[in-house]
Structure 1
Amino acid sequence: MRRGISIAAAVTVIALTATACGGSDDNSSSKPKAAGDISGTITYWDTSDAATEAPTYKALIKKFEAKYPKIKVNYQSVPFSDVEQKFKSAAKSGKGAPDVVRTDVGLMAEYASLGYIAPLDGTIALKDTSDFNSGPLNTAKYNGKTYGVPSVTDTLGLLYNKDLLKKAGIAQPPTTWDEFITDSKTIKKKTGAYGTYLNPDSYFLLPLLYSNNADMADTSAKKITISDANAVTAITTAKKIQDEASMKVDYANAYQNMQTAFKTGKVAMLVQGPWSVSEDLSGSAFKGKETNLGYAPVPAGPGGKAQAPTGGHNLAVYQGSKNLDAGYLFTQFMTSTDSQVEIAKGTGTLPTRKSAYTAEVTADAKIAGFKPILEQTARPRVALPQVGSLFTPLAQNYVKILQGSEDVKAGLDATAKEFQKLLPGYTIG
């Protein structure tokens, strides 16, 4: 699940005037069907990696069909990069939309605001929420309702090369951004390796914003906050990291160069997610010595708070589905504890249920390493339908700031003005 600079650039502006096709907000039934009585055929769009992850999901679907023989699942693999536009087009037209879709958590508010996905509170899909970790569950909420069931989750943490830190005389990974910069300089001086490689994608900027009590917007006050004093401090720190602590950034291919440098031991620390670990372990710095890879929370800001965005995927049910009950039941099955255990074992992704962190699951060092990070630092992105689109102007101006063609405040002011075009009724705070 690579997250590169292309993510922000690929997002398009949301048409808020679009209307949903089919269905209503009221999914309650005076007499719900028993699970064994539910029948029909449903289509499921799966965005997991077709080669490495999909076999696990296909195996679970066979178990579901064996348990509920009256329901047939039409499985379709849809590339992660294509699913957003494909689903929105199908849902808007009312033709060809799946009954259940695996969706990035960042798209939940958009789909819900457009009426494309059904609220699940009170349905069999979401019978009991107490077992879900609060971070993933909050990604499925919009305007007081729950529109998805968390399936897998992730967040950003600090991955580090233990050998390089030890050679530099650093006993523990840095806990603040100031320490991060200082340690990076020490590592370069004592080992020759660079301390870090700054990823210029705006998603990876979020830990710096959050740890400085900044964000893109404040929904309760209807204010755009990306250019306030706290955000200026955060981006100023990012510029300092690039200038004083980072290997030179190749903006044309930043993500892959960052990965190559880290896994070969040319860089000691990265802000990265669990999706990168398999690739990291294939490099000369970690292959055959997996315990050399360390896991820690992202550094904290001046207020001592370390925070990173909650990522991952939820299952959502199409509002216009002709087989809502079957869709709800399928969603419940695929996000159950037993299913999440199988998914974690088969794909190495982190469960969203507390009960799914069994001894067998946490035997995976990646899952064990990111579990406390997720619990300590993960928080949802701002719950706006336009949140995906906000990353585009932020990314464009962030790169200009890092490259020195824009001043920090001027770049953020320009970003705020672009945000205002996407957020009618919002003022610049």
Structure 2
Amino acid sequence: MTTSGISRRGALRMFGIGALGVAGAGVLGACVPSGANTSSNGGDTKAKNFDFTSWSLNEEAAKPALEKIIAAWEEDQKSKIRAVSYPYNEYLSQLTLKLSGGETTGAVHLDISWLAAVAQMGKLADLGSVAAKGGYTDVARGSGEYDGTQYGLPWNTGSIGVIANSALLQKAGIKQHPTTIEEFEGALRELKGIGGGVVPYAAATKVAQLKDIFPWMQTFGCKLLDGEKVTIGDDASVDAVTWYKKLHDAKLIAADVDRFDARALFGQGKAAFYDDAIVGKGVTAAQSEDKALADAMQPMPRPVLRPGDTPQALLWGGVIAIVKGEGQDAATEFALHTTTDPATTADYFASNAMPPSTTAGLADPKVADDEFTTEWTAKITRTATGSPFWQFAQNAQIEEAVAKQVQAVLVGTSKPKDAMKQAGEEVAALIKR
């Protein structure tokens, strides 16, 4: 990614926090859990005690496994970790306020899509020398980089790709996963022919999830961003949206579908393909009454425009970054241990199916024996890339601007060429803010 030159104020704008929000950080500070450290982020870098901030500590399913990691570290190192957490939907805004005020120290868990905006605040340590000895996969290590600097140690690395229902494919007489756009469209038409209310491809068609159009645009050859030039509006992006509209009009995809709707349709046996993160298998299968569904779920590389093209997928996962200052050294060692120790990463995977980020972790029998995870890593994550718009503080607004234009095409209020031209202009204006 390239440096976007966004100021701290610009980064805060991403989270809906202007100057007033920063000034009011003391008020929001009342929401900080009781274990939070409210000292500045200066201090003794060699202090044994430090904070660890993670949204997973606020989630019932993930919390026990993470508390186990923390307890084991404390016992082994004779130190104390102050656990800090905020709900996921509030996490980034709260963390940004605390970092801006010098009130967050130690290790912080970050979604990879947030790394660039947080790194631009100038609070994170360079972890390049540490990452070099971690044994991370190339894709995982890259997920923790911004502007040539390693700001995060990759914890769990996966991707968002296509999941197929092999039972429905078999019912439709489809023996192999389609590999090209032409084959994929043909398969969707075959699936529609089996009837029963099946939506062949439960693609995103609601604005909230229509950022899923980006990998399809890239499949058709749109770079999205070429250097500093927004390329949405080029022939490739128009072709992609025209194709999406064709699927919509032929009822090969359905109106008003988001990720939750897609999971529900797939779980009911009413969809043959849908897009999800690697953990989608566990979530969708758990919600389904069909106990055989999990065995029918298969990872499928996104079909390509021409044979030999690289399948597109969006990188997905989390990293642990380190705040410069108090407890920096111990927090760094904790982050390295948590993300690379074979027993720790294997146990964490066993508890929540979050794939490790190291070669050794992926080779552990607990992980390697999980066929779905192994295939997903090899077929989808291997070629996954981050969004070129993650580097901008206005990323969420960029995604929404494009999504609204794509939806306008789907409902027939705009033509693909006009909509993509408008989307490109709006994105360019947002980036220049």
1:399 maps onto 2:403 in alignment: no
Q: Tell me how far 1:126 sits from its aligned partner.
A: 2.5
State the distance in 1 between where 2:211 and 2:139 align.
17
The residue type equivalent to 2:204 in the other structure is: N
Q: 1:116 to 1:414 in 2, by over 3 A?
A: farther
1:159 to 159, 163, 176: 163
Q: Tell me how far 1:315 sits from its aligned partner.
A: 0.5
Q: Secondary structure at the match of 1:75?
A: strand
Q: 1:259 to 1:289 in 2, by over 3 A?
A: closer
1:106 to 113, 129, 140: 113
Contact 2:298 / 2:372 at 8 angstroms: preserved in 1?
no
Deviation digits for residues 24-59 of structure 1, max 9, x if unmatched?
9xxxxxxxx9xxxx5432111112261111211110
Deviation digits for residues 91-112 of structure 1, max 9, x if unmatched?
11223x2421111101111111
Paired residues in the alignment total: 392
Q: Which one has a larger percent helix, Structure 1 or Structure 2? A: 2
Q: Percent identity?
A: 20
Q: 1:154 to 1:242 in 2, by over 3 A?
A: farther
Contact 2:73 / 2:334 at 8 angstroms: preserved in 1?
yes
* Superposed counterparts of 1:165-184, under 5 Å: 165-184=169-188
Equivalent residue for 1:143?
A: 147
1:57 maps onto 2:66 in alignment: yes
Equivalent residue for 1:232?
A: 238
Equivalent residue for 2:28?
A: none
State the distance in 2 between where 1:116 and 1:392 align.
29
Q: Tell me how far 1:190 sits from its aligned partner.
A: 2.8
Deviation digits for residues 74-131 of structure 1, max 9, x if unmatched?
1123222111111111111223x24211111011111112213222123xx43415x2
Contact 1:184 / 1:245 at 8 angstroms: preserved in 2?
no
State the distance in 2 between where 1:323 and 1:405 align.
56
Q: Tell me how far 1:284 sits from its aligned partner.
A: 4.9
Q: Tell me how far 1:264 sits from its aligned partner.
A: 0.7
Q: Tell me how far 1:199 sits from its aligned partner.
A: 0.9
1:241 maps onto 2:250 in alignment: no
Equivalent residue for 1:371?
A: 377
State the distance in 1 between where 2:98 and 2:54 align.
15
The residue type equivalent to 2:415 in the other structure is: D
Superposition RMSD on alpha carbons, in Å?
2.7
1:195 maps onto 2:195 in alignment: no
The residue type equivalent to 2:310 in the other structure is: K
Structure 2 residue ranges without an equivalent (≥5): 1-12, 23-38
State the distance in 1 between where 2:368 and 2:285 align.
18
1:317 maps onto 2:325 in alignment: no
State the distance in 1 between where 2:413 and 2:180 align.
28
Q: Secondary structure at the match of 1:190?
A: coil
2:313 to 300, 308, 312: 308
State the distance in 2 between where 1:313 and 1:390 align.
22
Q: Tell me how far 1:191 sits from its aligned partner.
A: 4.5
Equivalent residue for 1:186?
A: 190
Q: Secondary structure at the match of 2:286?
A: coil
Equivalent residue for 2:75?
A: 66
Equivalent residue for 1:258?
A: 262
The residue type equivalent to 1:65 in the other structure is: E
Equivalent residue for 1:345?
A: 350
Q: Tell me how far 1:394 sits from its aligned partner.
A: 1.6
Structure 1 residue ranges without an equivalent (≥5): 1-9, 25-32
Equivalent residue for 2:423?
A: 415
Q: Tell me how far 1:391 sits from its aligned partner.
A: 1.3
State the distance in 2 between where 1:229 and 1:247 align.
23
* Superposed counterparts of 1:205-220, under 5 Å: 205-218=213-226
